Amino acid sequence: MIVENTDLRETDIVYERSNTWIAPDSGTTSGSRQTLVTGEACRRACGKLMEDRNSGLSLKEMKGKVYYGEYLAKTDPLGADVPNPVSHVAYGYATQMCILDPKSGKIDEIVAAHDVGRAVNPLSCEGQIEGGVVMSMGYALREKYEIDENCRPVKKYGALGLFRSHEIPRIKAIVVEKPGLNVACPSVPMDV
C-alpha cells in the first residue's frame, strides 16, 4: 500500500509488526473492516509524506519525521436506539442479478458485481462475494434461525435450512476496482 501511494520502494520500508500495546482501540474489527480503516489511515499518511517529497526533501532529510494518518470508521453499537444506525463502514457498492431457469423457476445463476475500491487480494475478494451470495440466498429463501425468549437457538445446525453445496447455483463474481478514491469521513477532516 505504501509503495502504491508513494515513490518509495519496498527496500526503503521497514515493517514493524502490529502491537496491541501501542495501537489505539479501533472498535469491533474484522479482516475487511480493518483493511479499510488501516488502509485509509496509511493512504492519508502517505499523502503527507508525498507533500514533503514533492517539495524536494530527500529521504535523508525526512528521516525521523512522523507521518500520521487517521481514519475513523465510526459505527453505532449493536442495538443502538438511534434513527438510521450505522452498522458498518465500507468502500464498496454491490449489485446482483438473479437468472432463473425458465422451466423449473429455480435459480440458474447469480451474477454479483462488487465495487470494492482496491482489491488487495482479488481471488479472496471473489470468494467473499460468492460467500455473501450464498448467505443472502439462505436468508431470503429458506433459512430459519429460531431463538427462544433468552435469544438461544432452538434448532440444530442441520435443521436451519442452509444450502448444501450441490444446491448452490453458478455464481459469477465480478470484482470492480476503482483505484484512487478519496474517502471522506464526516467526523474527521481529510487533513487529520
Q: Is the pLDDT of residue 153 over 50?
A: yes
Q: What is the CATH number of the domain that holds 119?
A: 3.30.365.10
Query: Do 85 and 101 fall within a single domain?
Result: no
Helix/strand/coil for 46: helix
The model's confidence at residue 30, banded by pLDDT at 50, 70 and 90, is: low
Q: What is the pLDDT of residue 185?
A: 47
More confident residue, 172 or 180: 172
More confident residue, 29 or 142: 142
Kindly give, in sequence order, each residue whose CB lies less than 8 Å from that of residue 120, ignoring residues fewer than 6 positions away: 1, 35, 39
Query: Do 75 and 141 fall within a single domain?
Result: no
Q: pLDDT averaged over the chain?
A: 84
Determine, yes or no, domain membership for 188: no
Q: What is the pLDDT of residue 145?
A: 84
* CA dist., res. 76 & res. 82, Å (int): 8
Determine, yes or no, domain membership for 37: yes
pTM for the structure as a whole: 0.60
The residue segments making up the domain with residue 149 are 93-177
Flag the least confident range among 14-18, 30-34, 145-149.
Answer: 30-34
Query: Do 69 and 112 fall within a single domain?
Result: no
More confident residue, 180 or 171: 171
